[in-house]
Amino acid sequence: MEVRDGLVEAAAVCDHRPGSRRFLGPRTPGGADTMTLRWGILGCARISRRGLIPGIEGSRTGELAAIASRDGAKARAWGAEFRIPRPHDSYEALVADPDLDAVYIPLPNELHAPWVKAAADAGKHVLCEKPLALDAAEAAAMVAHCRDRGVILMEAFMWRHQPRTRGLLGHLAGGLIGELRLVRASFSFPIEAGDWRLDPARGGGAVWDVGCYGVSTARLFAGTEPEGIRARAHFGPSGVDMSLAATLSFPGGVLASIDCSFEQPFRCAYELVGTRGVIEVPDAYLPPAASPALAHVRTIGSGSDSDAGTDRSRVLEFPAVDQYAEMVDAFAASVAAGRLLAPAEDGLAQMRALDAVLAAARD
């Protein structure tokens, strides 16, 4: 299965830099569908420290080879701390590094497009933090640019690559809770004053930063794109959405209720409701790496109407893994295939949905 709008065709899985035909070989003990990728990271962001750096280190397919900062001393300090061989004192130097295969971009949102395009121009495959772009038009240009240069572009929604996510997709397909009718998702936390995510010019706002998870969740489990969207928001002094609630409708009778906030206590959960039961998913996008990820299932028993006394409940357990490592290996599989492989996020379709949500909230 492949992701359509974000499809990137490649004639062969190889080093796309001009004048080079160095094929990336399979990594032992991986098979033909896994690749050894040498990674570079643009910027010393918090998400790199707690997410992708340990993810690359824990993956089967990744090797962290370089990191860049506009502060050369900071790049060298991170290089020493994480044993990264080549610290660069500019983003340009990392992108031009001939010994890299893939670049991770965790920069502020307004910098995604220029650096995705620069990395693609240098023949690098790109994993870009969410949201992919500032709007759908910018995302379309990024996707086209990477397609023209024969490199993979993937949006970094790590939660899609959890064993729990794959398992729940299987349970839904198997009819565990009947026909899916509702997806509910909440993600919120209080943000500090002065955070760049409060700046509208930089792509700030709750829906871009955390509401995007709920939209991605609804789209994944509905298996299609929304056909109707309504939303309301509380906008802060800077003009960005501080709290937002949206209702999405999908073909096939599936609804989604999504809320997000920069001014509410921490919440991170989603719920799948079907005609025969419900699945509640705690720690939805940030599951513990050292203990099993859980999902609570309740299915309708012999009762009817409001009688839940006969309902059957159980807990599903899924392997404890580093979801970032899973994402790194999934990215390598997409590179090997020459196209995005499900459940990778289709960044263009996601941005179209996010644009529609925010437009509805402002209407």
Place of tokens 């096939």: 252
Q: Give 292-312 pLDDT, tens digit per residue.
A: 999 999 998 765 555 566 789
Instruction: Tell whether 99 is covered by a domain.
Output: yes
Shared domain check, 232 and 124? no
The answer to whether residues 147 and 183 belong to one domain is no
Give 39-81 pLDDT, tens digit per residue: 999 999 999 999 999 999 999 999 999 999 999 999 999 999 9
pLDDT at 13: 32
Number of domains in the chain: 2
Q: Check residue 27 and give its pLDDT.
A: 37
Q: Has residue 26 been placed in a domain? A: no
What lies within 8 Å, CB to CB, of 9 at 6+ separation is: 147, 150, 338, 339
Same domain, 188 and 291: yes
- Contact assessment for residue 197 and residue 283, using Cβ atoms and an 8 Å cutoff: no
| 24 domain residue, yes or no | no
pLDDT of residue 304: 56
The answer to the question of residue 7 being in a domain is: no
Give yes or no for a contact between 258 and 218, defined as CB atoms under 8 angstroms apart.
Answer: yes
Active site residue 130: yes
State the chain's maximal CA–CA distance in angstroms.
70
Tokens representing 221 are 């489990």
Q: How far is CA 75 from the centre of its chain?
A: 25
Give yes or no: residues 133 and 192 share one domain: no
The one catalytic residue among 74, 117, 124, 130: 130
Res. 32: pLDDT tops 90: no
Q: Checking phi first, is residue 178 left (phi over 0); if not, alpha (psi -120 to 50) or beta?
A: left
CATH number at residue 99: 3.40.50.720
Q: Given pLDDT bands bounded at 50, 70 and 90, which one contains residue 251?
A: very high
- The CATH number that applies at residue 197 is 3.30.360.10
330 plus 218 within the same structural domain = no
On whether residue 11 sits in a domain, the answer given is no
**Single-letter residue type at 20:** S
**Residue 17 CA to chain centroid, in angstroms?**
27
In the structure encoding, which two tokens stand for residue 312, read together? 């059957």
> Whole-angstrom Cα distance, residue 146 to residue 116?
8
Report how far residue 287's alpha carbon sits from residue 183's, in angstroms, rounded to the nearest whole number: 19
Residues 225 and 101 grouped into a single domain: no
How far CA 178 is from CA of 19, 270, 301, in Å, comes to 55, 18, 13
Query: Is 341 strand, coil or helix?
Result: strand
DSSP strands (E only) in the chain: 37-42, 62-68, 86-88, 102-105, 125-128, 153-155, 180-188, 228-235, 241-250, 254-261, 267-274, 277-281, 293-299, 312-318
**Residue span of the structural domain in which 249 resides:** 163-320
Burial of 37 from C-beta contacts in 10 A (0-12 / 13-18 / 19+): buried
Supply 248's token pair. 């999405």
User: pLDDT: is 3 or 218 the higher one?
Assistant: 218
Residue 19 has pLDDT above 60, yes or no: no
Please write the tens of the pLDDT for every residue from 164-192. Answer: 999 999 999 999 999 999 999 999 999 99
Residue 5 pLDDT > 90: no
The pTM score is 0.89
**Same domain, yes or no, for 123 and 232?**
no
Residue 178 and residue 256 in one domain: yes
Task: Say if residues 138 and 355 touch (Cβ distance below 8 Å).
Answer: no
Asked whether residue 203 is assigned to any structural domain, the reply reads: yes
273 has pLDDT over 80: yes
Q: Which pair of tokens denotes residue 284?
A: 């939805």
The answer on pLDDT for 87 being more than 80 is yes
Are residues 196 and 119 both part of a single domain? no
Tokens found for residue 266: 């921490």
Same domain assignment for residues 173 and 205: yes
CA distances from 162 to 25, 35, 55, 203 (A): 25, 20, 12, 27
Is 292 domain-assigned?
yes
Within its chain, how far is the Cα of 169 from the centroid? 17
Which amino acid type is present at position 163? Answer: P
Kindly state whether residue 249 falls inside one of the protein's structural domains. Answer: yes
In a shared domain, residues 289 and 331: no
The pLDDT score that the predictor gives to residue 9 is 30
Residue 103 is inside which H or E element, if any?
strand 102-105
Please list, in sequence order, all residues whose beta carbon lies within 8 angstroms of the beta carbon of residue 170, skipping any fewer than 6 positions away: none
For the chain, the average pLDDT equals: 90
Tell me the Ramachandran region of residue 154: left when phi exceeds 0, alpha when psi lies from -120 to 50, beta otherwise: beta
CA dihedral 335, 337, 342, 344 (to 10 degrees): 10
pLDDT of residue 274: 98
Same domain, 167 and 289: yes
SS3 call for 69: coil
